[in-house]
């Protein structure tokens, strides 16, 4: 059957090319599932213990991402079946079923899979059986999502509360909030904005990351006891080197150790404004060569985005 004979209601997925065969599609699907699992795992770690609302938001975001990729992969496999350059239908169904089973195994460790009951493994070589299994799981996710939304009704909108509180704190300082893009570099972009305002320095987040990583390497003994791995263990020398390398070269988030290093690198105190607590001051003793101690001021937002903490910058009104 040619493409022109395809049913009119089957839209060709934008991610599939007319030259992509089943083997290439299988490899691409594996990559996409692996990348999604990594993103979902990182998202799960942002949900702190006891924060039920945040956990529900995370599960909802993860379920949407998981459902979207499964639906797209099923659509791509269905499109491939009607193309005139595919293998025999029976052979393709077996391979496609293998793809879907491997996706199941990849996603079993995801936040959504952990939040739902494990479904018994069912034998079957036909692709329609694999699809039925995925559809049942998707229905479980939809039910969980609906329950989470129902429970969330009437709860306090912490994002709105936090925004209002920080706006009030900013006005008390005669300042305004400068929004920073939430791309993993928000701390360093907020500091870049402050360096421009307070010190008159034009620096990119990449340059700031590099300088902070270098300072932490040169003063390892000051930072090593306060940095832990994802499992909560203290880092050894190799782990600390890997930590600094990720700091300099990836979009890994920054926290108090990095802010302290920033205050040392630029000999300028950093004030962190946050809801429900006094301003946190890092490097209070720092003083620039000109004797000035004007601080850099940033804001910390815990509830602004579902992916985790965020930093903005404060400037005079």
Is 180 in contact with 311 (CB distance < 8 Å)? yes
Residue 193 known to be catalytic: no
Taking residues 63-82, report their average pLDDT.
78
Q: What percent of the chain stands above pLDDT 70? A: 74
Selecting among 183, 221, 233, 237, the annotated active-site residue is: 183
pLDDT attached to residue 170: 95
* pLDDT of 307 over the 70 cut: no
**DSSP secondary structure letters along 241-303:** HHHHHHHHHS-----HHHHHHHHHHTT--EEEE-TTSPPEEESTT---TTS--PPEEEEEEEE
Q: What is the pLDDT of residues 27-40, one digit of tens each?
A: 888 888 888 887 87
By residue count, the chain amounts to 317
CA separation for the pair 266, 221 (Å, rounded): 20
| CA-closest candidate to residue 250, choices 20, 110, 42 | 42
More confident residue, 184 or 9: 184
Average pLDDT over residues 165-180: 95
Res. 234: pLDDT tops 70: yes
Model confidence at 130: pLDDT above 80 = no
- Is 317 strand, coil or helix? coil
Start-to-end CA distance of the chain, whole Å, equals 66
Q: By C-alpha distance, which of 280, 224, 290 is closest to 257?
A: 224
Look at residue 37 in the predicted model and tell me its pLDDT: 81
| Residue ranges per structural domain of the chain | 3-152, 158-316
186 is catalytic: yes
Residue 44's CB is within 10 A of a number of other CB atoms, namely 19
Are the C-beta atoms of residues 293 and 287 closer than 8 Å to each other?
yes
Which listed residue (186, 244, 271, 303) is catalytic? 186
Reported as a pLDDT band with limits 50, 70 and 90, residue 237 is very high
Average pLDDT of every residue of the chain = 79
**Does the structure show a pLDDT above 90 at 127?**
no
Exposed e or buried b for every residue in 13-40, given b needs 16+ CB within 10 A?
beebeeebebeebbeebeebbeebbeeb
Does the structure show a pLDDT above 60 at 83?
Answer: no
Most confident of the ranges 23-32, 83-92, 214-223: 214-223
Contact 172, 166 (CB under 8 A): no
> Could you tell me if 126 and 30 are in contact, meaning their C-beta atoms sit under 8 angstroms apart?
no
Domain over 158-316 is classified CATH 3.90.70.80: yes
């Amino acid at each position: 059957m040619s493409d022109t004979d395809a049913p009119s209601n089957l839209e060709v997925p934008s991610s599939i090319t007319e030259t992509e065969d089943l083997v290439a599609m299988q490899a691409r699907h594996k990559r996409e599932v692996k990348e999604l699992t990594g993103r979902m795992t990182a998202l799960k770690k942002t949900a702190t213990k006891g924060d039920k609302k945040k956990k529900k938001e995370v599960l909802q975001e993860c379920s949407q991402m998981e459902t979207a990729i499964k639906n797209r992969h099923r659509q791509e496999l269905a499109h491939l079946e009607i193309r005139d350059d595919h293998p025999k239908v029976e052979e393709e169904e077996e391979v496609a079923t293998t793809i879907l089973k491997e996706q199941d195994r990849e996603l079993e460790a995801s936040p959504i899979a952990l939040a739902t009951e494990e479904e018994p493994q069912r034998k079957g070589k036909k692709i329609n059986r694999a699809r039925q299994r995925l559809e049942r799981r998707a229905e479980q996710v939809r039910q969980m999502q609906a329950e989470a939304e129902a429970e969330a009704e009437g709860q306090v909108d912490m994002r709105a509360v936090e925004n209002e509180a920080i706006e009030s704190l900013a006005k008390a300082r005669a300042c305004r909030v400068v929004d920073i893009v939430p791309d993993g570099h928000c701390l360093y972009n907020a500091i870049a904005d402050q360096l421009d305002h307070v010190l008159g320095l034009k620096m990119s987040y990449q340059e700031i990351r590099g300088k902070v990583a270098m300072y932490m390497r040169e003063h390892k003994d000051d930072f090593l006891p306060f940095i832990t791995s994802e499992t909560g263990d203290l880092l050894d020398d190799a782990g600390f080197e890997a930590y600094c390398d990720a700091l300099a070269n990836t979009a890994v988030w920054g926290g108090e150790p990095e802010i302290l290093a920033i205050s040392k690198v630029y000999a300028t105190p950093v004030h962190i404004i946050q809801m429900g607590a006094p301003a946190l001051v890092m490097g209070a003793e720092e003083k620039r060569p000109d004797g000035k101690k004007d601080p850099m001021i940033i804001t910390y937002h815990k509830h602004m985005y579902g992916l985790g903490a965020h930093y903005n910058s404060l400037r005079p009104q």
